[in-house]
Amino acid sequence: MFAYIVRRLFLMLVTLFGISVIIFVLLRIVPGNIVDILFDAAGFVDPADKANLERELGLNQPIVIQYLHWIGGLLRGDLGYSYVSEKPALQEILPRIPITARLAGLALLFSASIGIPLGVISAVHQGSKLDYALRVVSLSGLSLPSFWLGLLILMASVSLFGTMPIFNPNPKTWLEAITIYAVPAMAVGFRSAALTMRITRSSMLEILRQDYIRTARAKGASEASVNYRHALKNAVLPVITVIGIEAAFLIGGLIVTETVFNIPGIARFLVEALRWRDYPIVQNIVMLIAVVVVTVNFVVDMLYAAIDPRIRFGD
C-alpha cells in the first residue's frame, strides 16, 4: 500500500508539473497581453512607454525565465501581483474562494438531495405517469442552459416579488443571506440534479432486477426496505462517481451563474482576468483548480484502493 501511495503521489506531482507548463504556455499563445489591451484603446501610444511597461511586468523576458519565476514564487508562497489591480494575487484570489466553494457545495447538495430521491421514485414507478413526468423534468434540466434558467429566475423574482436575489455582501436578513446563495445554487445545480436523477434511475433499475432483490422480497422485506436498504445502497456507487465528476465540471456552470447573479466568486473573476490577460491571476487560479481536481482524484484513488484490493495489486 505504501509503494502504491508513493507511486500515486509521484504521478500527482508529474501531472501538476505538466498542467503548470500547459497553462503557462497556452496563456502566452493566446494573442495579446495586458500591455496590448491597456494601450490599444488609448491611442497616441509611445512605443517606449509600451516597452517600459512590458519590462516592468517582466513580459519581455524569455518564456522559460518567466515560467521559472512563477514556479519559484509559487513554491515560496508568492503568487505575484495582479497586473490590473496591482495588488498581491493571493489577496485577490483568497477572499473569492469561500464564495465559490459555498455556491458549489450548495449546488452539489441540491443536485444530490433532489436527483437521488427523484431517481429512486422514477425507477420504482417505472413506466407510470409519474415516471414519465420525472423523465421530462430531468430532460429539461439537461437541456436548459443555467444562464437562461438564472435569468428566468431573476425575471420571475422581479415580476412576482419586486426584488431579485443578486449578491449582497452585507445581507440584512437571514432569509436574504440564504437566498443569495440558494437561488443561484439551484440554477446551477438543476442540470446536475437532472443528470444525477437519470443515473440513479438507470442504476436502480439494474439493481432492482438482481437476484438478491428478489430474494429480499421473497424473505418478506417491505418495499421501502427493498428499495432503500437493499437496492439504493448498491445503486448509489455510480451516482457518487458521477457527482464527483460533476463537481469538477461545475466550474464551467459557475462562470455563467456567477455572472448572471453577480456573485464575486472565483469563476467569474477567472473570466475577467482572462479578458485582461492578467497572467498572475489566471495561471494561479487555474493551477488552484488543477490542484483541487488532482487531489480529489488522489483521494478517490486511495478510497478505491482501500475498498478494492485488486486495484492496488493490479496497478
Interacting residues with other proteins (CB under 8 A): 31-33, 36-46, 49, 52-53, 56, 82, 84-87, 92, 151, 154-155, 157-158, 162-164, 166, 169, 259-262, 264, 268-269, 272, 275-277
Q: Which is nearer to other proteins, 44 or 174 (CB)?
A: 44
Q: Which is nearer to other proteins, 2 or 170 (CB)?
A: 170
- Main-chain dihedrals φ then ψ at residue 116, nearest 5 degrees: -70, -55
CB 248, min distance to other proteins, A: 24
Q: Which is nearer to other proteins, 46 or 223 (CB)?
A: 46
Q: Which is nearer to other proteins, 31 or 62 (CB)?
A: 31
CB 156, min distance to other proteins, A: 10
CB 212, min distance to other proteins, A: 52
CB 101, min distance to other proteins, A: 17
CB 253, min distance to other proteins, A: 15
Strand partners, 88: 81
Q: Which is nearer to other proteins, 89 or 124 (CB)?
A: 89
